[in-house]
Amino acid sequence: MININDKVILWIDSFEIPYKKKEGLLSLYDDKKFILEDIRQKSQNVVKILGNNFDMLFENLQTFDNVFDVYAKHNVKIITYINPNYPERLKNIDNPPFVLYCIGDINLLNSQSIGIVGSRKVTNYGRIVTEKFATALAKAGLTVISGLAHGVDSIAHQSTLDVNGKTIAVLGGGFANIYPAENYGLALKIAKTGLLVTEYSYYQNNDAFHFPLRNRIIAGLSDGVLITEASEQSGTMHTKNYAIDYGKELYLVPGNITSSSSGGCNNAIKNLQGAVVLSPQDILDNYNIQLKMEDKKIELTSDEKLIINIIGDEELPFQVIALKSKLNINKLNSLLIAMQLKGIIKKVAGNCYRK
């Protein structure tokens, strides 16, 4: 049950006023109900802190109780910075959120976790690497944290869900405005078994400046941050910097030196800003976790090895695989189905297959 202190924090945080003014106002009293009294009485210490923003709060004081109705209606759990469930590791980041709005399993906020982030315009290499790492790390029991964006974020979330792992999506806006809209279905899936979390009120839009701020929460909640693919201009570099500032382990997957898509990772490696990782076990060693034997290696038949070698790092249509393998069509169909069930390959749009 939300108490009066939480209500006051939530109400004040719902206004679009500078963070430092909210911080100053909320620090006036341990018992937050006195802040309401000061606002009603137009106390000078409140007016001094808020300046031109005072009138906004005073005029909207009558909406104090109404602001909570929408959250109850949509089963949103509210965790303020004074709530026992507020993650301790978030308290030491830059401008920690006053409120976390959550849908799903709030226990994941304090679970052993890994942030997986990267480019929105992911290459096939980035897709393969992200799927490989997210799948293995989720199977090992780590909560995968990302930002629900196109590209690496979406792949990390979906790969985790595919192996019944736990994932947290940190949003850049309110729950009424899931962004990108194409990921609404993915967000619903995450809410069922994982967690959606945001610092923004229910109807808040996804303003451009929210996303760099969102990244500080991804880094803050994570025990370590993995960047699977990112260019030098990628917003992922904000997350990298936050991870370094917060003393988090930073893991980087190297990429082709001629590919601009891997420029961010490769340059961070060059500058020794993080650890180079070539397999999920490189990360799990820091968590003192060993992959199960069946997760380390799958024995392939000679025909399966042939198909894997043909596909390589590409996405190939069925016809090309059939032509290059020279296998009987019926046999090839059976092999491809079996390899999908084993998790060796994936079928994608256009009747194509990839590792």
User: What's the pLDDT tens digit per position in 92-103?
Assistant: 898 999 999 999
CB 130 within 8 A of CB 229: yes
- Is pLDDT above 70 for 279? yes
Angle at 62 (CA atoms; ends 58, 68), nearest 5 degrees: 115
CATH number for the segment(s) 298-354: 1.10.10.10
CATH number for the segment(s) 106-293: 3.40.50.450
pTM over 0.75: yes
DSSP label at residue 175: G
User: What does the alpha-carbon distance between residue 137 and residue 257 come to, in Å, rounded to a whole number?
Assistant: 26
Q: Could you report how far apart the first and last alpha carbons of the chain are, in Å?
A: 48
User: What does the alpha-carbon distance between residue 42 and residue 268 come to, in Å, rounded to a whole number?
Assistant: 52
Three-class secondary structure of residue 133 per DSSP: helix
Residue 67 makes CB contacts below 8 A (sequence gap 6+) with 10, 11, 14
Long-range CB contact pairs, 50-54, < 8 A, 24+? 50/17, 50/21, 50/25, 51/21, 53/15, 53/17, 53/18, 53/21
Angle at 251 (CA atoms; ends 297, 271), nearest 5 degrees: 135
pLDDT tens across 181-232, in order? 999 999 999 999 999 999 998 888 888 888 889 999 999 999 999 999 998 8
The encoded tokens of residue 177 equal 């405005």
> Residue 127 is which amino acid?
R
User: What does the alpha-carbon distance between residue 104 and residue 122 come to, in Å, rounded to a whole number?
Assistant: 28
CB 106 within 8 A of CB 85: yes
Task: Of 101, 130, 346, 312, give the one whose Cα is nearest residue 230.
Answer: 130
pLDDT tens across 293-306, in order? 555 567 788 999 89
User: What does the alpha-carbon distance between residue 282 and residue 124 come to, in Å, rounded to a whole number?
Assistant: 22
In 3-state terms the chain splits into helix, strand, coil percentages (rounded to 5) of 50, 15, 35
User: What does the alpha-carbon distance between residue 249 and residue 283 come to, in Å, rounded to a whole number?
Assistant: 9
pLDDT tens across 128-151, in order? 899 999 999 999 999 999 999 999
